[in-house]
Amino acid sequence: GAGVSQTPSNKVTEKGKYVELRCDPISGHTALYWYRQSLGQGPEFLIYFQGTGAADDSGLPNDRFFAVRPEGSVSTLKIQRTERGDSAVYLCASSPLGVWEKLFFGSGTQLSVL
């Protein structure tokens, strides 16, 4: 596919469980971003990758959240010991090198923590 792909589209889990959310960016896009959107709010920045390394993880809310991008393409956002407050849509975006303003977003993963 030509766009950013996120899987799963929906994830329901129980409080305290571990979840992984996957993002497959547009081929050739070196920059990858994770955002979180809570109900009734705009997206909130979580982390930015340039290539394989996390260039900026200042938006991660706490140490339960971690993201990797080992080969500079697919990224996984990992959430440990999930809490009900983690329920949100997790959006992934990618962009070409140096083009930060025009992000290409995936459809998101709706995470529900029961």
Partner 1 sequence: DQQVKQNSPSLSVQEGRISILNCDYTNSMFDYFLWYKKYPAEGPTFLISISSIKDKNEDGRFTVFLNKSAKHLSLHIVPSQPGDSAVYFCAASHSNYQLIWGAGTKLIIKP
Scanning the structure block, which residue is given the tokens 């469980």?
A: 17
The answer for residues whose C-beta is within 8 angstroms of residue 63's C-beta and 6 or more apart is: none
| 14 versus 98: smaller Cβ distance to partner 1 | 98
How many residues touch partner 1 (CB under 8 A)? Answer: 25
| 18 versus 45: smaller Cβ distance to partner 1 | 45
| 33 versus 65: smaller Cβ distance to partner 1 | 33
Binding residue (CB under 8 A) for partner 1 from 19, 25, 43, 79: 43
Q: Is 107 in the site for partner 1 (CB under 8 A)?
A: yes
For 85, phi then psi, to 5°, come to -70, -10
Please name which of 108, 43, 39 lies closest in space to residue 77, comparing C-alpha atoms: 108
- CA dihedral in degrees (10, 51, 36, 66; nearest 10)? 80
Here's the x/- map for partner 1, 67-106, by CB under 8 A: it reads as ------------------------x-x-x----xxxxxxx
List C-alpha distances in Å: 51 to 8, 30, 72. 23, 5, 5
Distance CA(114)–CA(111), nearest Å, equals 10
Q: Is 45 in the site for partner 1 (CB under 8 A)?
A: yes
Smallest distance, partner 1 to C-beta of residue 112, A: 15
Query: Which residues are at the interface with partner 1 (CB under 8 A)?
Result: 4, 31, 33, 40-45, 48, 56, 58-59, 91, 93, 95, 100-108
